[in-house]
Chains A and B, each alone.
Chain A
């Protein structure tokens, strides 16, 4: 009996393994920064180049950092969602404008709406490297103490926002 069922069991095992593999997106690499303090940064504001935005501006409240760029096509897909949500919920969203041209970025916000409290202008992409950004758009959730709690790679859709991001923000807001 074992003689005949063993190959079948091995085959089923392989099928399960492959199904599991097919459902994983290899382009989504888990970030080592989860549950670690957000890296320090100090960048000029996109709107007012003379003022700087740094990590200390984020502390004390749960903040979303949305990495975006005017050259990024997928950012266009998720952007209306953030515009809509920023109006409805009391959500603190900062933008990280990644490797962009200032004029293009400002024009982009003018056309599509600006859901951000402010956007940090990371022209060289060095803050992006510190945050392990490799595929724009990316969205980080940072808690009150400045610890990265979640990272979303790629455009956020309504479902992910309602099921994952907003509940986590609410939960973190309750925590002291």
Chain B
């Protein structure tokens, strides 16, 4: 029941996602603000970004980010502010660090393993095929005999 309610809350909140109109010193800051909101996960409705969510916490965090953008803080600093408090989970694009290297390199490792497996299978099959085509010494002898007989007659 709790989760059903939560589900509807998240659905409805995106419908009413009331992003309060905010004013910036210049358009560049406005663009930075909106780009940042898309990059950060709302922890209350976890599959929504801060831009989409109208959870109370999302509004508070939007206000914090607004203040920091107005103060001309860097993207790096703003992201760090959020990561320090809520952990790496808030970032939609995980950073490359010791506990995420498998996440980043995993697909490439899987690809390399797949290529090696395909290569081995092809190699094995072509070897089996060539073995099947090759004649044994007896067969060769018989073949030569047949050819000889044919030529003589």
Contacts and interface: CB of A to CB of B under 8 A. Distances in A.
A-side interface mostly: loop
Interface string A22-58: 0000110111110000000000000000000000000
Interface residues of B, number: 15
Interface of B: 43-44, 46, 56-57, 60-61, 64, 83-89
B60 A132 contact: no
Question: Which secondary structure dominates where chain B touches chain A?
Answer: helix
Nearest to B55: A134
A129 interface: yes
Interface of A: 26-27, 29-33, 99, 124-126, 128-135
Given A125-B57, A125-B60, A132 B86 contact: yes
A33 B84 CA distance: 7
The 4 A-B residue pairs with the shortest CB-CB distance in the complex, in nearest-first order: A134-B43, A132-B85, A32-B87, A29-B89
A140 to B, nearest CB: 13
Given A99-B56, A125-B57, A135 B85 contact: no
B60 A129 contact: yes
Contacts of B84: 32-33
A46 B43 CA distance: 27
A4 to B, nearest CB: 16
Contacts of B64: 126, 129
Nearest to A27: B46
Nearest to A135: B44
Contacts of A31: 86-87
Contacts, number: 43
Given A134-B43, A135-B44, A29 B85 contact: no
B43 A29 contact: yes
A130 B61 CA distance: 11
B46 A130 contact: no
Nearest to A73: B2
Given A99-B56, A129-B61, A129-B64, A32 B43 contact: no
B43 A135 contact: yes
Given A27-B46, A125-B57, A135-B43, A130 B87 contact: no
B83 to A, nearest CB: 7
Given A31-B87, A129-B61, A129-B64, A134 B56 contact: no
6 contacts: A29-B43, A29-B86, A31-B87, A32-B83, A125-B57, A129-B64
A30 B83 CA distance: 11
A125 B62 CA distance: 13
Given A26-B46, A125-B57, A129-B64, A134 B87 contact: no
A73 to B, nearest CB: 9
A78 B71 CA distance: 41
Contacts of A26: 46
Given A129-B61, A134-B43, 13 more contacts: A30-B89, A32-B83, A32-B85, A32-B88, A33-B85, A125-B57, A125-B60, A126-B60, A128-B60, A129-B60, A130-B85, A132-B85, A134-B57
